[in-house]
Amino acid sequence: MTIQPFKLERYFARYEFSVKYLLSSSDCESLGMDELFGMAAPESRALWDGLKLGYTESQGHPLLRAEVAKLYQRILAENVLIAAPEEAIFVAMQTLLQPGEHAIAVSPTYQSLYEIARSIGCHVTPWPLQSTPAGWALDIQQLEASITDKTRLLVLNFPNNPTGYLPSHQEFDDILSLARKHNLTVFSDEMYRLLESDTGLRLPSLADAYENGIALSGLSKSFALPGLRIGWLVSQRSDLIPHWLAFKDYTTICNSAPSEILGIIALQNTARIVQRNLDIIRENTAIATAFFAQHSDKFACHLPKAGSIAFPEWHGPGTIEQLAQGLLDQQGVMIVPGHLFDIPGKHFRIGLGRKNFGEALEKVDLYLEMRI
C-alpha cells in the first residue's frame, strides 16, 4: 500500500509540543483527569477502581457502546464499533471501497477522508466548498454533476474541518435525496457535531437520517478528550460490523481498557462537557469577532455557527506561508496554512476551543503592529 503523507499531521508533529501558542488546534481545551473523575457516578468510578488491564472486547466495551447508542435515535449498542477516530476512518474506507471505484468528498476536509480512498486505487472527486461574501457554501448541482455510474461513496464532514461550514436542514435533506436517488453509500464525519452555537442548527446524525449511511464521531473534539483515542462508527446497516471487526484485527485489535472506562464517564456527562466547550468557544468567538473587526483590512473571516474551527483569509502582504513562519519565529504562534488542506491561496485555520486563544491573538496583534 502506498499513501501520501498526511500533510496536516506532519505539520503538527513538527510544532505541537514545542510551540507555545497553537492558534490552529481543532480540539477544545483538554479535560483533566480530576475534572473527569469529578463527574463520575459511583458505579463508573467503581469500574475504574476495579479495572484489570487486559485485552478488551474488539467491538468495544458493551457499556461504552450503550452510552454511544444513546446519542442516536436508530442505533443500538450492537450497531457501534469503538476505535480511535482516525483508525475508524481507515477501517471504514478499507471495507467500503474497492480499487477502481469512484468517491466524492467534500473539500476542503480532513485529509484521510479522501487520501485513504485514493491509496486503495479509487478516483476521488472533490466537492468544493465555495467562499462567498455570505460565507462558505456548497453547490448541490455540482455534486449531482460529479456522480457517475462508478460512484460508490459520498464523504461528508459537517461541521466541516477546516471551514466550520454547516449546511441548513434543507440542504442536508437535499444531499440525502440525491444520495438516495443515486443509491450512494454516505460516510459522514461528525467529529464536531454537538458543538452548534444553537441546538436548532444541529443536523440529525447521518446514521439516523440515512439507511445506507455511516457516521463517525468520537471524544477528541466535542468532548475535549483526544488523548483517550476513543471514537466510533455507527450505522443502521448491521452487515458492516463483521467487516469492520475483521479489518480491525490488523490495526489495534481492541481499545485501551482505561480509555474505555474514561469514555463511559465522559458520555454519561455529555451535556455538561459539551456546555463547557461551547462556553469556551463562545468566549473565543467574541474575541475573534473583535480582532477581525479591528483588522478588517488584513483578514476576511466568517466565524462558524458550529464546531471549534474557522478558516479566515489573509489579505495582508506576502503569502500565508510567510505569515505563518513569521508568527512562529517571532511570537511562538502556530497557524495552519490552507495548502495543508489542498487549498491554494491565503486561507489558514484557527481553533476556537483553547483557553489561551485570546493570548495567542494578542501575539498576532503584536506581530502585525511590528511587521506590517
Ligand X SMILES: Cc1ncc(COP(=O)(O)O)c(C=O)c1O
Say which amino acid occupies 174: D
User: Which segment (81-89, 97-105, 135-143, 175-183) binds ligand X by CB under 6 A?
Assistant: 81-89
11, 325 Cβ separation under 8 angstroms: no
Is residue 190 a contact residue for ligand X (CB under 6 A)? no
Is residue 86 a contact residue for ligand X (CB under 6 A)? yes
Is residue 67 a contact residue for ligand X (CB under 6 A)? no
Binding mask 148-177 for ligand X (x = CB under 6 A): ---------x---x----------------
Q: Pick the closer one to ligand X by CB: 84 or 306.
A: 84
Q: How far, rounded to the nearest angstrom, does the alpha carbon of residue 1 sit from its chain's CA centroid? A: 25
312, 347 Cβ separation under 8 angstroms: yes
Is residue 84 a contact residue for ligand X (CB under 6 A)? yes
**Which residues share a beta bridge with 218?**
231
User: Which segment (84-92, 235-243, 338-346, 364-372) binds ligand X by CB under 6 A?
Assistant: 84-92
Rounded to an integer, what distance in angstroms lies between the CA atom of residue 273 and that of residue 281? Answer: 13
Q: Pick the closer one to ligand X by CB: 331 or 353.
A: 353
Beta-strand ranges (E) seen in 213-260 are 213-218, 231-235
Is residue 85 a contact residue for ligand X (CB under 6 A)? yes
SS3 at position 186: strand
Q: How far is the CB of 367 from ligand X (least distance, A)?
A: 26
Q: How far is the CB of 9 from ligand X (least distance, A)?
A: 8
Neighbours of 318 (CB within 10 A): 13
Among 93, 191, 234, 264, binds ligand X (CB under 6 A): 191
Each residue of 278-300: b (16+ CB within 10 Å) or e?
bebbeebbebbeebbeebeebbe
Helices (H), the chain: 7-15, 33-39, 42-49, 62-69, 85-96, 112-120, 140-146, 169-181, 206-209, 240-248, 257-267, 270-294, 320-331, 357-371
Is residue 56 a contact residue for ligand X (CB under 6 A)? no
Grid cell for residue 309: 474551527
Q: Pick the closer one to ligand X by CB: 85 or 263.
A: 85
SS3 at position 306: strand
Rounded to an integer, what distance in angstroms lies between the CA atom of residue 135 and that of residue 151? Answer: 29
Binding mask 90-119 for ligand X (x = CB under 6 A): --------------------x---------
Is residue 205 a contact residue for ligand X (CB under 6 A)? no
The DSSP call for residue 1 is: -
Q: Pick the closer one to ligand X by CB: 28 or 97.
A: 28
User: Which segment (78-86, 233-241, 286-294, 316-324) binds ligand X by CB under 6 A?
Assistant: 78-86
Binding mask 19-38 for ligand X (x = CB under 6 A): -------x------------
Number of chain positions touching ligand X (CB under 6 A): 12
Among 226, 263, 337, 338, binds ligand X (CB under 6 A): 226
**Which parts of this chain interact with ligand X (CB under 6 A)?**
26, 84-86, 110, 157, 161, 189, 191, 218, 220, 226
